[in-house]
């Protein structure tokens, strides 16, 4: 069995349920053709490097699979039929990279930074309120 890394890029117009059903269909195609899904990552909504079908963003999904090489052509045919899939890519690798991927780590770091920024904004608002109260007490 060969090792592959797969990236599926879905239309940003899709609801979460639609994306999940497309992914389930993909997984079913793999398992019915004797492929194994080793790992999976949801990279979420990300900016595209260039517009694809007038879209600037898309939902990304990453898979690590083990499959016989000949089934990839059959899966490609099925994926070409999907209207919700903007692009896909199969890459044959010698060894799978360790998860979580760097891309997923960057997403988590970004979320943590956003949370810290919100805390700082809340803290600054409290300081401003306290300062206003002190000024009003001094003026009285």
Tokens found for residue 135: 């000024």
Q: Is the pTM of this model over 0.85?
A: no
**Closest among 4, 71, 34 to 79, alpha carbons compared:** 71
Residue 17 has pLDDT above 80, yes or no: yes
Residue 86 has pLDDT above 80, yes or no: yes
Interatomic CA distance for residues 64 and 57, integer angstroms: 23
Instruction: Compare 137 and 84 and report the one with higher pLDDT.
Output: 84
Residue 65 has phi, psi (to 5 degrees) of: -130, 160
Q: In the predicted model, what is the mean pLDDT of residues 66-83?
A: 89
Strands (E), 21-109: 36-52, 55-67, 85-93
**How far from the centroid of its chain's Cα atoms is residue 70's Cα?**
28
Q: Provide the β-strand partners of residue 39.
A: 64
């Amino acid at each position: 069995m060969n090792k592959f890394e797969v990236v599926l890029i879905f239309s940003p117009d899709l609801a979460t349920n639609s994306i999940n059903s497309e992914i389930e269909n993909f997984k079913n195609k793999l398992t019915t053709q004797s492929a194994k899904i080793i790992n999976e990552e949801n990279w979420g909504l990300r900016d595209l490097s260039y517009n694809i079908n007038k879209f600037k963003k898309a939902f990304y999904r990453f898979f690590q699979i083990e499959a016989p090489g000949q089934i990839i052509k059959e899966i490609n045919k099925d994926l070409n039929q999907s209207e919700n899939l903007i692009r896909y890519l199969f890459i044959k690798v010698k060894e799978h990279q360790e998860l979580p991927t760097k891309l997923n780590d960057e997403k988590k770091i970004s979320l943590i930074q956003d949370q810290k920024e919100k805390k700082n904004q809340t803290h600054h608002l409290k300081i401003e309120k306290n300062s206003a109260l002190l000024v009003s007490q001094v003026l009285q």
